[in-house]
Amino acid sequence: MGIDYQERIPNNVDLSDNRRLQRALEAWQPGFQSWWAEMGPDEFQDKEVFLRTAISVEKDGWANFGHVLMPDYRWGIFLAPAEDDRRVNFGDEKGKPAWQEVPGELRGTLRRLIVTQGDTEPASVEQQRHLGHTAPSLYDLRNLFQVNVEEGRHLWAMVYLLHAHFGRDGREEAEGMLERRSGDEDHPRILGAFNEKTPDWLSFFMFTYFTDRDGKYQLASLAESGFDPLSRTCRFMLTEEAHHMFVGESGVGRVVQRTAELMRAHDTEDVRPFGAVDLATLQRYLNFHFSVSIDLFGSELSTNAATYYTMGIKGRYQETRIDDDHRLNDALYSVIRHEGDDLVAREESALNALNERLRDDYVKDCDRGVQRWNKILRDHGIDFELRLPHRAFHRQIGAFADLHVTPEGRIVSEAEWNAGREAWLPTPADEAFVASLMQGVTEPGKFAGWLAPPARGINGQPVDFDYVRL
């Protein structure tokens, strides 16, 4: 049966007028549906969820709310509105008209970037598949499912680009994204962070704060692309990515608030006996998720990043707001390097340091949220500060991958690292304790005891709304 492309898949890319693209997506859709049934949220497919669905890019169509079964969610394909006479804003192509079709010499590079970004979308759904059973409230359960269906829509967005612009190669890559599995030994996801487990809700909140924030910066860089369909696709995806980061920041903030309340009520730092996460454990989880996420930016110095920029494929964060020549041929940028037992700043080619510049933007953004969590502690009179670890801490990629660096940024021996590891990263005992808190709460308006209720509900609804009809 053919698909009604405006009803079943709301879009602004004229699917109904493109028979070749219709046939390609009709062939791909059953595989997506099978993947969702197999790897989407476990055992909640027959429950009505209060979801936001985009049916157009206009203000009154971007966010429609209502109860819907997740398998019936309308995974639309949207590009941000086109800009008249859009130009390439950086690199050797600066000032030339943006490309509406893929330049032949950039075909392989662009396809690889789109596949790498697209592969992260189903991966996070797979990582979070079982979390519904231990949701701390119906409010949180709904937020989890909203993140999941939007990651599915982001997969559709990348698959649309592959089908529309890359022919047979694109179709094969789109199939590959349904075949890989997060954490699978034989067919893992492309990026390491998306093969890590997300076994509990504290990890989920950290993931949506730190790892989804990496997604924000990668999408923002691709939104600068001279390939206009990619730029427009990423610009619209960013509107939905904001909710994912909200889930993370507010989720961790509610954990911090509950911990602070119990610390004051019982005059103790050890709130575990009262069913909450102590601040030292929170810091260890923060250390882990931050370090895993900054690896996603790649090596500090990268000729690939320089090539993407020079070609006009991938820009910097908010490229057009930067006051320079947007070519960077002779520009320098400060990069932290290791020399002996020291970490020092050195001036490097700005073109080769583009990954590090993007990482710098990301780190500053992450720290703003951490300071908001610390304000919660100060407001409760708690003398403790959560901190981002040094960027060289616990790295698996880049210049620091072979070093042992403390959260404070001190290079140490392997023996000293092993001795301090349990103070810096989650231990099996931490994970077991956090797992013991993961008891599902399904009564509207009720919340697990290890986090505070949210300040307000979703889309004007009360906190005790039936966000998921169980």
Q: Residue 385: its pLDDT value, please?
A: 98
State the chain's mean pLDDT as an integer.
Answer: 95
Span 58-113, pLDDT tens digits: 766 778 899 999 999 999 899 999 999 999 999 999 999 999 999 999 999 999 99
CATH 1.10.620.20 assigned to domain 15-469? The reply is: yes
Indicate the SS3 state at residue 81.
coil
Q: The tokens of 313 are what?
A: 């494929």
Residue ranges of alpha helices (H) inside 128-223 are 138-165, 167-179, 201-206, 212-222
- Taking CA atoms, 365 is separated from 40, 207, 395, in Å, by 30, 15, 19
Span 265-297, pLDDT tens digits: 999 999 999 999 999 999 999 999 999 999 999
Strands 468-469 and 332-339: unpaired
What pLDDT band is residue 19 in, cutting at 50, 70 and 90? confident
| Number of other residues whose CB lies within 10 A of the CB of residue 452 | 18
Amino acid at 216: K
63: buried, middle or exposed (CB in 10 Å: 19+, 13-18, 0-12)?
A: middle
Amino acid at 381: G
Indicate the SS3 state at residue 402.
coil
Q: What is d(CA 93, CA 225) in angstroms, rounded to the nearest whole number?
A: 11
Q: Which residues contact 277 (CB under 8 A, 6 or more apart)?
A: 202, 255, 259, 271, 434, 437, 450
- Indicate the pTM of the whole model: 0.96
Q: The tokens of 428 are what?
A: 């099996």
Q: The tokens of 368 are what?
A: 């703003």
Q: Residue 396: its pLDDT value, please?
A: 95
Q: The tokens of 413 are what?
A: 């021996």
8 A C-beta contact, residue 255 and residue 175: no
Q: The tokens of 103 are what?
A: 């330049």
Q: From 24, 28, 22, 195, select the one nearest 122 (Cα to Cα).
A: 195
Strands (E), 340-426: 342-349
Q: Residue 26: its pLDDT value, please?
A: 87
